[in-house]
Amino acid sequence: MTYIQTYMAILVASLLVIPFLKVTWKGIITLSVVIFNAILSGYLVFPELLGEKLAFIFPGSIVTGEIPVRIDALSAWFILLINFTVVTGALYGIHYMKAYKMQTSNISLHCLAYILMQASLTAICVIQNSLVFLFAWEIMTLSSFLLVIFEYYKQDTLKAGINFLIQSHAGVLFLTLGFIWVYYRTGSYDFYAISQFSLTYPHIVSLGLFFCFFIGFAVKAGFVPFHTWLPYAHPAAPSHISGVMSGVIIKIGIFGILRMLQLIQTDYIVLGYIILVFSVISGVYGVMLAILQHNLKKLLAYHSIENIGIIGIGIGLGTLGIGQQNATLILLGFGGALLHVLNHSLFKSLLFYSAGNVYQTTHTMNIEHFGGLVKQMPQTTVLFLIAALAICGLPPFNGFVSEFLIYSGLFDEMASKEMINLFVILFSVFGMVLIGGLALLCFTKAFGSMFLGNPRHQFHSAPKESGTGKLVPMYMAASFIVAIGLFPQFFFRLMGEPLKLYSDKIIISGAISSAVSIADTMQHIGFAAAGFIVLGLLIFFIRRKVTAEKPKPILTTWGCGYVGETEKMQYTASSFIRSYRKLAEPMLSIQKRKIEIEGVFPVYGRHETHPQDKIEQYFIDKPWNLLKIFFGKFRFLQNGNPQFYVLYGAVFIALIIGFPVITETIKKIIYFLNQI
Amino acid sequence: MISLLLIVLTSLFFMGIVVRTKSIASGRKGPGLFQPMKDVIRLWKKGAVYSKTTSFIFQIAPSIYFASIIMAILVIPFGQYKGIVSFDGDFVFFAYVLALGKFFSIIGALDTGSSFEGMGASREALYSMLAEPAFFILMGSFALYTGHTSFHEIFVSLHFGSYISYGLGTLATFVLVMIAMIENSRMPVDDPKTHLELTMVHEVMILDNSGFDLGLILYGTNLKFAMYGALIANFFTGSFSILISILIFLAVQIMFAITVGILESFSARFRMGNNAQFIFTLTSISILIFFGVLLIMGKFV
């Protein structure tokens, strides 16, 4: 209890103090508060990750009722990974924000919002009272909104921020609906009431309740078709915020879904199928659009949607496992999903930080403008490469481990008896493989055209490597990426308790023996990964030994006999993905503008592609326009004439006062008529 | 261990057989069986020219590419003998470690800043992405058929019983041969003998590699062929004694090499635009295998 009070006290004190400090101190105080709170909450929740249970009950008020704060292994897992990314984000942000240090008041707001965001994320993981939960959720939404619109003076940023705000609140609407539904039936705000609710009503009703929550959380997580805010918000925010947002804020949606799966008892098999289908579509659609993007941060944002899809496939498999009483499948599915949540928070934040490094030295995010950055920014290049390999799910890094768990779950499920099951699984395998292949295409494009080759654009000042301050948090994330790739069994054991929450839902035991066999496989993967690194080093070493004495002249790149400078003839990012674009064109909507090169002495040629989100067009823009037309019909009311507005006021007041009088009169008349 | 040795052994003469077959088919005598290997060794002894555009990526890429192939070979079992690395779901590791090698060969090509190499890299990335589902669904079908998820266990418990299962074995061999052709950038998809940069796929990616690195890449292709040959051989060496297994293994490899040679001699390369469709149809053959397995197991009601 004292821990929580200390946490709150520091939070409030820092919020009061920060606005009055000098700019440099604002950053330092924010960083220390974030680190202190992270250590405090980490210290408090770590025993819970290993199986202890902790619960406090706060008295609350008449409105909210008792406020239970329960910390279990699931919240512990999420709190720990949130804390890590929030700390690296703060470490990175403090250096990133130096470029904006003239905007003092803006920075105060940014610092306050950052601290609030950390606190609200932590609160969401532990609070189990629906009203207070919604309150914390709202603080989280508002603070992340403030973080996104740091550069509010840019029109696009503000627009993206408002888009995010509106869509988040559409999500909140569904959450509220779900909670009200439960409260209306059970009369309690406690999360346990959700369990009771689903036990007392038939499966179909609790399935409906689950979908209420699922849509609410899916908006935050970015499942297709609720993803449309994401590709706008990520590029608009400062890089450390994009990293934190993609790394952990959208994961809180996943946390919500996992929590509801734990609470709601329903027909898990149907649920599993639905989640699987949603996730496969999210994954494939996200990466298909990611490849086409020209803006690096937008590309990464679409990759978040893809990774949410992968996490969702894991969750769907685990849910199927509960439905089929299959302990192995529960462990593989939920294990893969939970590990991928951690993994994605690591490599995605690392990618965004690298993008931040590049942005601050070149002031552009257009992939077509870069080239050859490896020579000026070697460290950023290596860090980006590690993250890119990890996000493609390649060994020996962490992405492979979680994707491997999910693959194992899929192939394990292949042995099942039912036809429909097999088709869904086949569809998911197909989706997973496509996602893997397309991610590889996407990141070879991004990495190759940004960091390799010759520069394609003359920047105002030559790009240079970022300072150590920015690189340290990146190395922190990178070391975890490598550690999970090399010691997966250790991290799988850490997930033992969170996984138990789900494997305890089934009656058939066998979870322990399958956990042992999975941990064994994980160990093999660790060995294989280490072996691969040793093998690579060995071959490289032999190569060096053999070629040490040989002549190594340095000449120009082979140009079919042409030996001049070939910067302008380099393959560009767009041309790299041209053959893919041709294939995908019928499925996506891509706007092209072209000015052909003509004449004997051509002067000017141009080719532009603008990838557009087809789902956004049909799911958001079209209904929105219809709504606009409908409300346009009432525009005559808003005619700018003060007299009319006074009239509306008068009519309104008259109605308010008159309504009871009129109803009374009508009642009297009816009564009178009845008497006759 | 034994599979590694056999694959390395086969890789020494595999290309030689392919080249010899092609020569005979076109009415020439052709070089000796070990000539391609001698070429590789000659390259290993040479110095190298580097482009001034390249960075350390270009230096490490061929080594990692080669290491990925070796790592993938370590996963492959031989009959009843496990591969050096063997665990449940190891074929996922097999495919992903090869993908890692591909990633590095692609960025190695992009590192030169060339006007051609990106083209090859782009095509290679796309084709291997399209070929991947076929492999995974193929392995998934066998996982469904045998109830196991590692190469070793699948091959050990794979027994051909009915006519349908022989059909499946043939189809699977076809899919694997085609995947091997795509992964090694051979005939119906890519022509290794073309002389125009614009129509190359794999060859154009390695234009700037020379000396030891080029040797590694070329020998990597030989190893990759032998590796897929070993996978195919494993379908047939189930439960025989070791000597017979080795004989079957070598016979399958030689047959495979001759098939490659014949395919290369008598087929023309597809138009670039049609390659994607062709590769994607492989997936439908894999799905056919999947349904065949369902038929055998009586899951179609």
What residues in A contact B199, CB-CB < 8 Å? none
Nearest CA to CA, how far is A391 from chain B (Å)? 12
> What is the number of structural domains in chain A?
1
Band of residue A212 on the pLDDT scale cut at 50, 70, 90: very high
| Phi, psi values for residue A55, rounded to 5° | -145, 135
For the entire predicted model, the pTM comes to 0.94
Q: What is the DSSP string of A577-617?
A: THHHHHHHTTTSEEEEEEE---SSS----EEEEEEE-HHHI
Supply the pLDDT for residue B159. Answer: 67
Supply the pLDDT for residue A570. Answer: 87
Q: Which of B50, B123, B143 sits opposite A414 (nearest CB)?
A: B143
Rounded Cα distance between A234 and A286, Å, is: 14
Chain A 336-375, residues with CB within 8 Å of chain B CB atoms: 371-372, 374-375
Is B300 a residue whose pLDDT tops 80? no
Band of residue B162 on the pLDDT scale cut at 50, 70, 90: low
* Cross-chain residue pair B110–A414, CB shorter than 8 Å: no
Supply the pLDDT for residue A317. Answer: 94
Full 3-state SS string of A644-673: HHHHHHHHHHHHHHHHHHHHHHHHHHHHHH
Cβ of A547 under 8 Å from any chain B Cβ? Answer: yes
* Range in A632-636, B82-86, B153-157 the model is least confident about: B153-157
Cβ of A585 under 8 Å from any chain B Cβ? Answer: no
Q: Residue A86: CB partners within 8 Å, gap ≥ 6?
A: A34, A38, A117, A118, A121, A244, A248
Q: What does each C-alpha distance from A288 to A302, A587, A589, B107, B239 come to in angstroms?
A: 9, 10, 11, 20, 44
Cβ of A54 under 8 Å from any chain B Cβ? Answer: no
> Tokens representing A365?
């995010």
Chain B contact probe: residue of A452, A520, A524 with most B CBs at under 10 A: A452
* Cross-chain residue pair B89–A440, CB shorter than 8 Å: no
Chain A contact probe: residue of B56, B73, B97, B115 with most A CBs at under 10 A: B115
Inter-chain CB pairs, A–B, below 8 Å: 256
Q: Which of A394, A570, A578 sits opposite B96 (nearest CB)?
A: A394
Helix or strand run (H / E) with residue A60: strand A54-61
Domain membership flag for residue A668: yes
Supply the pLDDT for residue A469. Answer: 92
Chain B 266-295, residues with CB within 8 Å of chain A CB atoms: 272-273, 276, 283, 287, 290, 294
Cβ of B47 under 8 Å from any chain A Cβ? Answer: yes
ipTM of the complex: 0.96
Question: Quick one: closest CA in A to B54, which residue?
Answer: A453
Band of residue A417 on the pLDDT scale cut at 50, 70, 90: low
Supply the pLDDT for residue A290. Answer: 95
Read off the pLDDT of each residue in A606-631 and give the average, rounded to a whole number: 91
Rounded Cα distance between B288 and B301, Å, is: 17
Mean pLDDT score of chain B: 89
Cβ of A102 under 8 Å from any chain B Cβ? Answer: no
Question: Quick one: closest CA in B to A531, which residue?
Answer: B71
Read off the pLDDT of each residue in A256-277 and give the average, rounded to a whole number: 93
The model's pLDDT over B42-60, given as tens digits with 9 standing for 90+, comes to: 999 999 999 999 999 999 9
* Cross-chain residue pair B93–A528, CB shorter than 8 Å: yes
The model's pLDDT over A35-73, given as tens digits with 9 standing for 90+, comes to: 999 999 999 999 999 888 888 888 888 888 889 999 999
Q: What percent of chain A has pLDDT over 70?
A: 99
Band of residue A340 on the pLDDT scale cut at 50, 70, 90: very high
The model's pLDDT over A228-244, given as tens digits with 9 standing for 90+, comes to: 999 999 999 999 999 99
Domain membership flag for residue A654: yes
What residues in B contact A436, CB-CB < 8 Å? 96, 99, 132
Supply the pLDDT for residue B236. Answer: 80
Is A653 a residue whose pLDDT tops 80? yes
Supply the pLDDT for residue B196. Answer: 81
Reported as half-sphere exposure (CB side, CA atoms, 13 A), residue A438 has a value of 25
Supply the pLDDT for residue B38. Answer: 95
Rounded Cα distance between A29 and A451, Å, is: 35
For residue A191, give the DSSP letter: T
Mean pLDDT score of chain A: 92
State how beta strands A554-555 and B50-51 pair.
parallel
Is A164 a residue whose pLDDT tops 90? yes
Band of residue A279 on the pLDDT scale cut at 50, 70, 90: very high
Is A225 a residue whose pLDDT tops 80? yes
Is B165 a residue whose pLDDT tops 80? no
Is A525 a residue whose pLDDT tops 80? yes
Supply the pLDDT for residue A587. Answer: 87
Residue with tokens 């192995």: A328
Cβ of B55 under 8 Å from any chain A Cβ? Answer: yes
Supply the pLDDT for residue B160. Answer: 64
Band of residue B240 on the pLDDT scale cut at 50, 70, 90: confident
Q: Which of A394, A569, A570 sits opposite B100 (nearest CB)?
A: A394
Q: Which of A400, A403, A448 sits opposite B106 (nearest CB)?
A: A448
Band of residue B33 on the pLDDT scale cut at 50, 70, 90: very high
For residue A59, give the DSSP letter: E
The model's pLDDT over B120-147, given as tens digits with 9 standing for 90+, comes to: 899 888 998 899 999 999 999 888 888 8
Q: What percent of chain A has pLDDT over 90?
A: 70
Q: How many angstroms from the chain centroid is the CA of residue B220?
A: 10
Is B276 a residue whose pLDDT tops 70? yes
Nearest CA to CA, how far is B190 from chain A (Å)? 15
* Cross-chain residue pair B122–A578, CB shorter than 8 Å: yes
* Cross-chain residue pair B85–A528, CB shorter than 8 Å: yes
Domain membership flag for residue A485: no
Rounded Cα distance between A318 and A221, Å, is: 18
Domain membership flag for residue A271: no
Nearest CA to CA, how far is B126 from chain A (Å)? 7
* Cross-chain residue pair A452–B88, CB shorter than 8 Å: no
Band of residue B161 on the pLDDT scale cut at 50, 70, 90: low
* Cross-chain residue pair A448–B273, CB shorter than 8 Å: no
What residues in B contact A572, CB-CB < 8 Å? 118
The model's pLDDT over B87-100, given as tens digits with 9 standing for 90+, comes to: 988 999 999 999 99
Cβ of A658 under 8 Å from any chain B Cβ? Answer: no
Domain membership flag for residue A521: no
CA-closest candidate to residue B95, choices A544, A120, A394: A394
Supply the pLDDT for residue A603. Answer: 82
The model's pLDDT over A370-405, given as tens digits with 9 standing for 90+, comes to: 988 999 999 999 999 999 999 999 999 999 999 999
Angle between helix A496-503 and A327-362 (nearest 10): 130
Domain membership flag for residue A438: no
State how beta strands A554-555 and A589-595 pair.
unpaired
What residues in A contact B190, CB-CB < 8 Å? none
Range of the domain at A650: 635-675
Read off the pLDDT of each residue in A176-182 and give the average, rounded to a whole number: 94
Band of residue A434 on the pLDDT scale cut at 50, 70, 90: very high
> Tokens representing A148?
């996104």
Nearest CA to CA, how far is B107 from chain A (Å)? 6
> Residue B76 CB: number of other CB atoms within 10 A?
28
> Tokens representing A670?
């009816």
Q: Is the peptide bond before A235 cis (omega within 30 degrees of 0)?
A: no
Domain membership flag for residue A42: no
CA-closest candidate to residue A121, choices A85, A156, A149, A95: A85
Read off the pLDDT of each residue in B195-216 and give the average, rounded to a whole number: 88
